[in-house]
A and B are shown apart, each in its own frame.
Chain A
Amino acid sequence: MTQAHDPAVDELRFALAEADAVVPPRHVRQLVQTRALAARPAGIPVGAPEPIDPAEAFQRAVFSLDAVLSSLEPVDWRTPALRGLDVQGLIGHLIGVEHGFRRALESTDDVHAEDDHVVSTDPFADEQRGRDPAETLEAWRDSVRRTRDCLAGIEHGPAAEGRPIALYGLLLPLATWLVVRSFELWTHEEDIRRATGRPLLPPDTASLRLMTTLAIGLVPAGMARTGRTAEGRSARIVLTGAGGGTWQTGLGAPEGGRPVEGGANVRIVADAVDFCRVVANRLAGSDLDADITGDRALAHDILAGVATLALD
């Protein structure tokens, strides 16, 4: 269908057509539902990308960050970016994260499972001070390369991807960790873009879809971190734009994080990328341009909860 060419006339004509309005037979509505959802199931966005492997999402996030880092001028590396770190220090932090991630992948014990995400990487950030930015960039690339080698050494398949990895106080399957890592790299890429005056860019659609799906699944965990419980309650979260989708999810035990049917207590409609920025704690939930229907206090709790998922 394409849009009409004479909007003013059409508006008038179909305002008048209200006089002819007749409720269609009930079965027509059922037929529309059946045909529409057969063409595109509920929850799936228009133009949904072909799903990608979480490892591919991680790879794409690495390439994207590398492209930005390659474009930086020497002065950009000294620009304050996050938590008192300049861009160079932030890349040092990421080198530290790669180090911690590899250690978690390779270890059979969970001795570092409770390492603090920031504190444990401070030495790596400090190490970059005074270095040539080109050396920092090369060190980061080398660190990522070693992570990829480590991942390649892990047997592929569902069993490997389902293997729980304990790190930074989280116990997640490897596949989920790879999405978390993609999320993290994109977030820090945005930190650097923001600091150096570069335009913010969303992740590619397929990666974003993985990120939004992950974030929705972790909503109950985020709420639990803030001490807000929502037993027996549910939310319908509609994330618009490429990489979004629609989820109706339980918020408390026993259905937490799983799809539920029936009436949701609240509906939140927001842009998918902005929602991810809330999850990354880069955008306050109160600043999210969201259309909320239902229990607004519950919506507030949800947005406050997801912000705690950020590793920073």
Chain B
Amino acid sequence: MTVTLLASSVEETDRCPGVVEHEQGTDRGSSVPVVEPNEAMLVARMAAGDDEALAEVWDRYAPVVYGHARRLSRDASIAEDVTQEVFVTLWQHPERFDAQRGSLRAYLGVHAQRRAIDALRRDVRRAAREERHQRLHGSDGCGPEAATDTWPVADAVRAAIARLPAEQRQAVELAYLSGMTHREVAASLGIPEGTAKSRLRLAQAKLQSWLDPSLLEPV
């Protein structure tokens, strides 16, 4: 058993695009060109504990996953975290990939996207909490603006929220940005829980019409 992940340890002949010569030149065998191992095989090898398969999947798809995550987040550290999570999870649960339903690239890409959006949501909420804290307690001169200004998504969300009527905006800030439950929002604003829900529904409808709804799911 080997623990070498970073390079395939089986000696292979030179590769042509899309084709692997599986045959080693020997005096007893003949060369048989075989199509590149399919993704189902790669994932089955991972399921069997073949860490070289993980290395192969990494070599093929890490640039797409990392690049996509970086484009979405515009943050290298988030992209690194997302990429790690995607590949470690694939190693832990290769059985969740179904080659009948699509390519491994798309499978990994979808999960990179989800994780990048989750990371963005977390950061938007964090930024809003910090902003709210500063409004209440005054700026210390090193607020969250520097971080969030680099994110068009965060800017877009804040701009959209600012367009809401005041009572809806308050409810949204508490529910979506501060992570409060409906009951906590109601208590905080001194209104019935049903009213809080109603304001949030109205606000959510407006925000969904202005923004990508995937960014607006409550906690």
Residue pair A3, B97 in contact (C-beta under 8 Å) = yes
Q: What 0/1 pattern do residues 53 to 68 of B give for CB contact below 8 A with A?
A: 1100010001110111
Q: CB distance A245 to B88 under 8 Å?
A: no
Neighbouring A residues of B28 by C-beta, 8 Å: 297
Question: Are B1 and A248 neighbours in the complex by a CB distance under 8 Å?
Answer: yes
CB distance from A310 to the nearest CB of B (A): 23
* Cβ-defined contact, A295 with B87, below 8 A: no
Which chain A residue shows the least CB distance to B10? A267
Interface pair B24/A37, CB less than 8 Å apart: no
Chain A minimum-CB-distance residue to B107:
A3
Distance between Cα atoms of A3 and B102 in the complex (Å): 8
- Identify A294's interface contact among B10, B83, B88, CB under 8 A: B10
A244 to B37 alpha-carbon distance, docked (Å):
19
Shortest CB-to-CB span from A205 to chain B, Å, is: 13
Is B44 an interface residue when CB atoms closer than 8 A count as contact? yes
Q: What is the total number of residues of chain A having a CB less than 8 Å from a CB of chain B?
A: 66
With both beta carbons as reference points, the residue of chain B lying nearest to A35 in the complex is identified as B88
Q: Considering the chains assembled together, what is the distance between the CA atoms of A294 and B101 in angstroms?
A: 30
Q: Which residues of B contact A43 (CB under 8 A)?
A: 1-2, 49
- Using an 8 Å CB-CB cutoff, how does the interface string of A12-23 with B read, 1 for contact, 0 for none? 011101101111
Kindly state the separation between the CA atoms of A236 and B56 in the bound complex, as whole angstroms.
Answer: 15
For the complex, what is the distance from the CA of A47 to the CA of B92, rounded to whole Å?
10
Does B95 have its Cβ within 8 Å of any Cβ on chain A?
Answer: yes
A7 at the interface (CB under 8 A from B): yes
Contact residues on B (Cβ < 8 Å of other chain), bracket? 35 or more
Most buried by A among B20, B29, B95, B96: B29
Question: Among residues 74 to 109 in chain B, which have CB atoms less than 8 Å away from a CB atom of chain A?
Answer: 79-80, 83-84, 86-98, 101-103, 105-109
Q: Does B22 contact A (CB under 8 A)?
A: yes
> A residues within 8 A CB of B47?
45-46, 240
Q: Is the beta-carbon distance between B52 and A236 smaller than 8 angstroms?
A: yes
A4 at the interface (CB under 8 A from B): yes
Contact A236 B80 (CB under 8 A): no
Please state if A291 and B49 are interface contacts (CB–CB under 8 Å): no
Whether B12 and A294, one on each chain, are in contact in the complex, defined by CB atoms closer than 8 angstroms, is yes
* Inter-chain contact A238/B80, CB cutoff 8 Å: no
A156 CB within 8 Å of chain B: no
Q: Does B214 contact A (CB under 8 A)?
A: no
Interchain CA distance A144-B169 in the complex, whole Å: 78
Q: Is A198 an interface residue (CB 8 A)?
A: no
Docked Cα-Cα span, A1 to B94, in Å, equals 9
In angstroms, Cα B45 to Cα A239, docked, is 8
Enumerate chain B residues within 8 angstroms of A263, measured Cβ to Cβ: 9-11
> Is the C-beta of A159 less than 8 angstroms from some C-beta in chain B?
no
Please determine whether B83 and A248 come into contact, CB atoms closer than 8 angstroms: no
Contact present for B49 and A294 (CB under 8 Å): no
Q: Find out whether the CB atom of B66 lies under 8 angstroms from the CB atom of A17.
A: no
B84 pairs with A32, CB closer than 8 A: yes
- A19-37 CB contacts (< 8 Å) to partner B: 20-25, 28-33, 35-37
Contact partners of A294 in chain B: CB under 8 A = 10-12, 22, 24
Known: A2-B96, A37-B3. A42 touches B49 (CB 8 A): yes
Q: Is A149 an interface residue (CB 8 A)?
A: no
Shortest C-beta distance, A192 to chain B (Å), equals 29
Q: A259 touches which one: B2, B20, B70 (CB < 8 A)?
A: B2
Report how far A159 CA is from B45 CA in the complex, Å. 36
Given A13-B106, A14-B109, A24-B63, A42 and B2 contact (CB-CB distance below 8 Å)? yes
Whether, in the assembled complex, B71 has its beta carbon less than 8 Å from a beta carbon of chain A, the answer is yes
Q: What are 28 A-B contacts with C-beta separation under 8 Å?
A: A3-B98, A3-B102, A11-B105, A14-B110, A20-B70, A21-B63, A21-B66, A33-B6, A33-B54, A36-B91, A43-B2, A43-B49, A46-B47, A46-B93, A236-B52, A239-B48, A245-B48, A246-B50, A247-B1, A259-B1, A261-B2, A269-B41, A269-B48, A291-B41, A293-B10, A294-B12, A295-B24, A298-B26
Q: What are the 8 tightest A-B residue pairs by CB atom distance, in nearest-first order?
A: A14-B109, A43-B1, A21-B63, A20-B67, A33-B5, A297-B28, A36-B91, A7-B102
Chain B residues at the A interface, C-beta cutoff of 8 Å: 1-6, 9-12, 20, 22-24, 26, 28-29, 32, 37, 41, 44-45, 47-54, 58, 62-64, 66-68, 70-71, 79-80, 83-84, 86-98, 101-103, 105-111
Known: A10-B109, A23-B63, A46-B49. 13 other contacts (CB 8 A): A1-B111, A10-B106, A13-B106, A17-B68, A18-B64, A28-B62, A44-B49, A238-B45, A246-B45, A259-B2, A269-B48, A296-B22, A297-B28
